[in-house]
Each structure stands twice: as C-alpha cells, then as structure tokens.
Amino acid sequence: MERPNAWKKYDEAALNALEGISARYRRYLDNGKTERECTAGTIEIARQAGYTDLRDAIAAGKRILPGDKLYMNCMDKAVMLFHMGEEPLEKGINIVGSHIDSPRIDIKQNPFYEEGDLAYADTHYYGGIKKYHWVARALALHGVIAKKDGTLVNVVIGEDDNDPVVGISELLIHLSGELMSKKAADVVTGENLDVILCGKPLTDEEKEPVKAGLLKILRERYGIEEEDMLSAEIEVVPAGKARDFGLDRSMILGYGHDDRVCAYASLEAILALPPVPRYTCCCLMADKEEIGSVGATGMRARYFENAMAELLNLTCDNYSELTLRRALSACRMLSCDVSAGFDPLYAAAFEKKNAAFLGHGVCYNKFTGSRGKSGSNDANAEFIGRLRKIMDDNGIVWQTAELGKVDVGGGGTIAYICALYGMEVIDSGVPVLSMHAPQEIINKADLYEAVKAYKAFMLNA
C-alpha cells in the first residue's frame, strides 16, 4: 500500500501555512538547544497564548473550568500544557507527548585540565551517538551554573556571530593508518571526546598557564570559579542555526529534530484548539528519554500523574484515588517521537514497504522495541482503527512504519511508560534522516502534517 507524497496535494494557502510553521519551528530549534531552553521557550510561548501556572491555581485553591489553559513546569526541564475541556477528567484526556532532550556531550563536574599547552574540558556523552560525528566541527556551550548563594548563571557561548566556538580535535589522515583499521565504534572513544577551550598561556610563571587563562576568562566574564563547576550543567552542542535544506528548500537541517520537531508540532497543535474542546487536551514534553526516561524529569517520574491529581482536585467535588485511576486509564495518547526515514543510500537497513518516507506525512508505529518486539508498547488494533478514521476524516497525509528491518536494530519511546496506566497509546512522529547525528534532516511537509494530525487527535480522539 503506497502512501501519497504530501507535496502533491498542497495549494497556495497550504504552502504558505507550511512555510510559516517551518519558520517558527526553526526559531524554536535555534533558541532551544537544551531541555532547559526548550522548557523556557515553550512556557514563554504558552504565556503569550493565555496559559497560566497550574501551581498558582493550586496555591489559591482556584476552581478550574472548561476553557482554562494551564501549564506545569517540572524542574525547568520538562513541561506540560493543559487546555481544559467540557467533559469531566474521569472520561480521560487527549495527550500528545514527546521529549525535548537530544543526544549531546556533557561537561563533567571536575572538567578542566591542561595538556600540550591546550586547556580542555573533560566530558561524558549523553544518549546514543556515533562518537566520530562530534570531532572536527564547531561546537557551542549551553547550560547553567548554580552558585552556592543560589545564583543561577546562564551560559550560551558559540551561537552569536561574534562568539568563539569550541571543538574536539581529530587525528590527521597522514598519521591515521592504525586508526583507520579499527571498527567505527572504536575510532573515537568516549574519553577522547574532550573539548578544547583555550590555547593561550596567562603567564610564564603559572604551573598550568593555559588553564589559568581559562579560569581568568570564566571569572572575569561570568563570575565563575572552578569550584562552581561542581554544580553546573553545561552541554556541548553543535554551533549554528537550523537551515533550509535542499535547493528547493523542502527540508530543514538542524540539531535536535529528535525530538523537538514532535514537541513543536504538539505545541502548535494545542495552541490552535478552539476555546473549549470536548476533552481536556495535554501537550506533554518530557526529559531524559534518550537515556531511558529516568530521573525526576524523565517520564518514569510521576509528574504527569501528580498534575492529573491536582487537576481533578480543582475540577470535581469527589476527588479520590479511584477517580484518579479511572481518569488515567481512560486517557488517549500519541507518544510522539521521530522515526527513521528511508534512506536510499542505506536501503539494506530498511524493509521498504514498512518504512517511513520523507514527504509522505506524519508516521505511526504500531510497535517499536527491538528483536522480538522487546520493550514495545504495541498499540491495540482497535485504537489504530479509530486513529485511521480521525486522520482520513481530516484530510491528513499519514503513513505507518517500523524502525528498520527485523533484527537490524530497534528503539523505544515513552509510550510503554504511559501505557502502564492502562491508557491507549501509539507511537507517532516525523521521519528523520541522519537521526542522532549532530545535524539531522526533516521534510517540511511531514512537520506540517504532524501539526494537523496532532490537532485532529486532540479534538477527536
């Protein structure tokens, strides 16, 4: 069953809407290279659209009514938006969930050292990466440093045209005979992903003069001492902006499409809802999916469940644990994460008739996992049947796929975690080329169809 290419159905109005969404998405991507930046940017956009802090309503004991728009900030690394609907929460809500963390390199707690008249930062990589992708390219530093007095220092270095960039060196080809004989996984090791920060000595008298120069820069420009790095979160990410890709400008090249493209599509969707939808709708953006959804801001934490409890408490007169359990199990959810786009240059990794193609619309994966569907949610056929009707009734271009050939690889999302509540969940997302590379590629048509699909799901599921 061939699915159509979305570009063939667009009129001028659709093309204009597509380009508008794409431009807004590029700005979102450029301003949100970390989960903290994504959370802050999402909340700012939501506030401008009339969303208020759920914690303020909780503190005031305010009755929440249909049409109210609320957000919940989870430790500045995850966020949920709720647009309250007519039906009681006990009948479930419509959730579009994604994650806003991306593969990257993190600077360690005790990072700075000098070797060969260069000052380095010691690092640890985050998420699944091909380490050799990260060498010999311009990198930027993003993050926060928490000082002992409670001051939070925001750091962004390498994005302004006048900023310096940093990076990781690579061995020249002339001396790489032994290196070139190694497996790709061994060419660059994790401990060799250290970032060059400085190369000029401060004075001849210093024991480590280049490191001393680095510390002077941090002290004078940012008010940071070396010990402050013990309570810092500095992420090393590709420098530069997202760009239109292809001579026809049909695609977008950028860092962090996985999974900020789905996060942004869900944000556009919830902001486009009518004043009072039938069911309460939720745009959920989680952290730490790339490392197993662990920690206080990962989906395994219970902030979504806790938020639902608070909403129930402020909307009904008979709150109970049973009411909460009924509400959670009655929910309907799209677990939105990118899927592997079919790449003709690596066709052997795909089973073509069950692959996602760029430009063919939003993608649905009945199952993910690996090997014998291990770790998969595997959505119910009945739920997929209802979803097919929603997509087709709303003229959405969509496709189904699996993540590569059987036994070739695999992957997962937050779907199986939310399914533990007993709710209906299916994986949905945008096809991506070069997934988990520092620069990934998506098709604008797939982003546009994802926005329409997520809005239709929120209104009709």
User: Mean pLDDT per segment of 10 residues, for the chain of length 461 residues?
Assistant: 89 98 98 98 98 97 96 98 97 97 97 96 96 97 95 95 96 91 91 96 85 94 92 97 98 96 98 98 97 94 96 92 96 95 93 93 86 80 95 96 78 87 94 97 98 98 92
- The verdict on residue 401 lying in a domain is yes
Considering the domain architecture, whether residues 77 and 133 belong to the same structural domain is answered as no
Which residue type sits at 306? N
Q: What is the pLDDT of residue 432?
A: 97
- The verdict on residue 19 lying in a domain is yes
**Euclidean distance between CA atoms 271 and 268, whole angstroms:** 5
Considering the domain architecture, whether residues 95 and 119 belong to the same structural domain is answered as no
> Based on C-alpha coordinates, what's the Rg of the chain?
23
For the CA atoms of 354, 356, 360, 366, the dihedral, rounded to the nearest 10 degrees, stands at: 70
Considering the domain architecture, whether residues 298 and 405 belong to the same structural domain is answered as yes
The β-bridge relationship of strands 410-411 and 369-370 is antiparallel
Q: What is the pLDDT of residue 408?
A: 79
155: left (phi over 0), alpha (psi -120 to 50) or beta: beta
- The verdict on residue 246 lying in a domain is no
DSSP code per residue over 122-177: EEEEESS--GGGGSSS-EEEEEEEE-TTS-EEEEEES-STTS--BB-----GGG-H
Cβ–Cβ < 8 Å for 50, 251: no
- The verdict on residue 74 lying in a domain is yes
- The verdict on residue 358 lying in a domain is yes
Considering the domain architecture, whether residues 98 and 110 belong to the same structural domain is answered as no
Q: Show the domain range for 313.
A: 6-102+255-460
In this prediction the pTM is 0.95
Considering the domain architecture, whether residues 96 and 137 belong to the same structural domain is answered as no
Task: Report the SS3 class of residue 22.
Answer: helix
| DSSP tag of 5 | P
Considering the domain architecture, whether residues 298 and 447 belong to the same structural domain is answered as yes
Considering the domain architecture, whether residues 269 and 224 belong to the same structural domain is answered as no
Q: What is the pLDDT of residue 196?
A: 98
- The verdict on residue 320 lying in a domain is yes
The model's pLDDT over 2-35, given as tens digits with 9 standing for 90+, comes to 788 999 999 999 999 999 999 999 999 999 999 9
**Euclidean distance between CA atoms 362 and 340, whole angstroms:** 12
- The verdict on residue 248 lying in a domain is no
Considering the domain architecture, whether residues 417 and 282 belong to the same structural domain is answered as yes
Considering the domain architecture, whether residues 135 and 95 belong to the same structural domain is answered as no
408: number of Cβ within 10 Å: 12
Triad 455, 459, 321: Cα angle to 5°? 115
The CATH number that applies at residue 52 is 3.40.630.10
Tell me the C-alpha to C-alpha distance, in Å, between residue 247 and each of 16, 250, 339, 438: 18, 8, 24, 21
Question: What is the total count of domains within the chain?
Answer: 2
Distance, first Cα to last Cα, the chain:
25
Considering the domain architecture, whether residues 336 and 452 belong to the same structural domain is answered as yes
- The verdict on residue 1 lying in a domain is no
| DSSP tag of 240 | S
Considering the domain architecture, whether residues 351 and 447 belong to the same structural domain is answered as yes
Triad 457, 458, 461: Cα angle to 5°? 55
The model's pLDDT over 223-272, given as tens digits with 9 standing for 90+, comes to 899 999 999 999 999 999 999 999 999 999 999 999 899 999 999 999 99
Considering the domain architecture, whether residues 261 and 301 belong to the same structural domain is answered as yes
| DSSP tag of 335 | E
| Residue at a domain's end among 210, 238, 266 | 238
Nearest to 257 by CA among 249, 245, 271: 245
The CATH number that applies at residue 114 is 2.30.250.10
